[in-house]
Amino acid sequence: MKKTITKTAIMLSLLVAGAADLYAQSAIYACGHIRRTRETAITNLKNSGYTTAILFNVNVEKDGSLTTDFSWDTQTAAEAGGIICQNGEYVFDRYQPHYVDDIKSLVTQPTTISRLEICIGGWGNGSYGNIRDFINRYGTGEETVLYRNFKALKEMIPEIEAVNNDQEQDYDVETAVKFHRMLADIGYKTTVAPYMNRSYWQVLVRRLNEVPGTCDLVYLQTYGGGAGNDPSEWKVFGDIPMYIGYDCEASGNLSEMESRFKNWRDADGVQGGFLWNYNSEARNVNEWATAINRIFPTKTVDKAAARFYQDINYGGYSVTLPEGSFSRTEMALYGIRANDITSFKLLSGYKVTMYSGDNFDGASVTFTESSSWIGTEWNDRVCSMKIESVGTGIGGVDADASDALAASLGADGTAVIVSGAAVGKVELYSMAGDKVCETAVSADGSAELSVASLPAGLYVVKAANGSAKVLKR
């Protein structure tokens, strides 16, 4: 992080995000990496900040079997691959005995993942040709092996909410509609991931949503073959939310992704972003996910308590938080990367306790006022935190009236300088609620309280109208 220290006056300015009708989301295509290096990858994905994991890939073979990383012609599995469902039974445990528990773990707290999808398709993938031929021959009834295989998968992992259609060849709208209606009957929603052939996708989604809610998301590919796509030209899906994507394997330029996503958010009203793909540890998934969450917030803040900054002197990205407890996963959902806080602004009346561990464990430190530099020991070390109001035991405090009141310690530390106070008197209390002194307020709302004889600590300045400020002597 940047470490250029300047000595400037600190003015607290917190931006509060307004309530949204729909929280935005961040998604990632999770490939075979989560099976090959399961212990590391599953944990990283749970802590990432992504709200949706799209499991890539489920292939549909000619006989209706479901496979992943498996050669049907040679009947051999690649590393961590195999047959998922066959003849109406889940059989992937023969290849990957931990898979069910791992996938269920992705949506088990603590985690940022709240939605799971499986993807069918992709460049060069023949699944939808196989689906077309199968349905034309056998249909989609409950007795068919295609139906029974998808039902077996749903029964084994009911947490899988949707099937992501990444059809990139073998376009046939009639059988695609039948297939996704079959999936809906089993209990799957549909999402689509188009990169071309806009009219095909428009018809498919319209026909599916003759039963409202069958297709609930559009993931527009704006990379690879879809690099020329403009979201404004794909507004053909009614009120279904659209997310736009970025290929982090083709380009590791995080700033480029941020710029594109911000532009499309502002110009075209897209509501979320997704990444292709997570198939190695070449990129920090927490860094990329939190960047998306700052552009498309997954959380709203009704009442700000503090704002946290990536760099010294309130530089870099910044995120506002309310009062509350924020584990590593909660921080990620708000858009704060673990081990990335360098400075912060704390609203009067709050304290923040920072922890080096993910869930309020490890070393800790407590701050009661803003800091433009949290120090070498804590720079880029915070993984969880608690923001709490500072209890005073003082009655008659009106939080809504406190914005106009200002109180600060004089240069020599012997007096508290007050401005913006209501007519009457201003009082000084200890944090235990004991009044230690008072004085009259001038006509212009100013006052001066002598604190030369008081010990160091936190005090509350309270005006006649109930406005109050916490300050440190």
- CATH, residue 454: 2.60.40.3080
> Domain residues for 340?
306-389
Within this chain, do residues 70 and 145 fall inside the same structural domain, yes or no? yes
Say if 364 falls within a structural domain: yes
Instruction: Give the residues across from 125 on adjacent strands.
Output: none
**Total domain count for the chain?**
3
- Say whether both 206 and 314 belong to one domain: no
Q: In terms of domains, do 416 and 313 share one?
A: no
pLDDT of the residue at 403: 67
Q: How confident is the model at residue 456 (pLDDT cuts 50, 70, 90)?
A: confident
- What's the CA angle centered on 129, arms 127 and 132, to 5 degrees? 110
Q: Does residue 340 lie within any of the structural domains? A: yes
Same domain, 192 and 71: yes
Q: What are phi and psi of 35, to 5 degrees?
A: -95, -35
Question: What angle do helix axes 173-186 and 145-156 make, rounded to 10 degrees?
Answer: 40
Q: Is residue 7 part of a domain?
A: no
pLDDT in tens, 22-81: 446 899 999 999 999 999 999 999 999 999 999 999 999 999 999 999 999 999 999 999
Residue 392 has pLDDT above 90, yes or no: no
Residue at a domain's end among 295, 326, 342: 295
| Whether 172 and 209 share a structural domain | yes
Q: What is the pLDDT of residue 21?
A: 34
Q: Do 257 and 341 reside in the same domain of the chain?
A: no
- Token digits of residue 394: 């003082």
Q: Is residue 8 part of a domain?
A: no
Position 17 scores a pLDDT of: 29
Same domain, yes or no: 376 and 466: no
288, part of any domain: yes
6 inside domain: no
Q: Are residues 163 and 210 in the same domain?
A: yes
Q: Do residues 226 and 143 both lie within one domain? A: yes
CATH of the domain at 176: 3.20.20.80
Across the beta sheet with 458-463, the strand order is 435-440, 425-430, 458-463, 468-472
Q: Which amino acid is at 1?
A: M
Q: What is the 3-state secondary structure (H, E, C) of the chain?
A: CCCCCCCCCCCCCCCCCCCCCCCCEEEEEECCHHHHCHHHHHHHHHHCCCCEEEECCCEECCCCCEEEEEECCCCEEEEEEEEEEECCEECHHHCCCCHHHHHHHHCCCCCCCCEEEEEEECCCCCHHHHHHHHHHHHCCCCCCHHHHHHHHHHHHCCCEEEEEEECCCCCCHHHHHHHHHHHHHHCCEEEECCCCCHHHHHHHHHHHCCCCCCEEEEEECCCHHHCCCCHHHHCCCCCCCEEEEEECCCCCCHHHHHHHHHHHHHHHCCCEEEEEEECCCCCCHHHHHHHHHHHCCCCCCCCCCEEEEEECCCEEEEEEECCEEECHHHHHHHCCCCCCCCEEEECCCEEEEEECCCCCCCCEEEECCCECCCCCCCCCCCCEEEEEECCCCCCCCCHHHCCCCEEEECCCCCEEEEECCCCCEEEEEECCCCEEEEEECCCCCCEEEECCCCCCCEEEEEECCCCEEEEEC
Evaluate whether residue 15 is within a structural domain.
no
Please say which residue of 389, 422, 457 terminates a domain. Answer: 389
Instruction: Enter the pTM of the model.
Output: 0.83
Strands 242-247 and 272-278: parallel
Whether residue 274 contacts residue 27, with contact meaning beta carbons closer than 8 Å, is answered with yes
Claim to verify: residue 264 and residue 207 sit in the same structural domain = yes
Residue 1: inside a domain: no
Burial of 114 (0-12, 13-18, 19+ CB in 10 A): middle
CATH number at residue 343: 2.60.20.10
Across residues 442-447, what is the average pLDDT?
92
Name the percent of the chain lying above pLDDT 70.
92
Digit-coded pLDDT (tens) for 223-242: 999 999 999 999 999 999 99
pLDDT at 129: 98
Structure tokens belonging to residue 19: 């309530």
**The domain boundary residue, chosen from 389, 407, 426:** 389
Q: How confident is the model at residue 399 (pLDDT cuts 50, 70, 90)?
A: low
**Residue linked to tokens 């106070």:** 421
Closest CA to 463 of 427, 439, 431, 409: 427
Residues 290 and 325 in one domain: no
CA distance 61 to 71: 10
Nearest Cα residue to 29 out of 182, 223, 174: 223
Same domain, 209 and 248: yes
CB atoms within 10 A of CB 472: 10
* Cβ-count burial 398-421 (b if 16+ within 10 Å, e if not): eeeebeebbbeeeeeeebbebebb
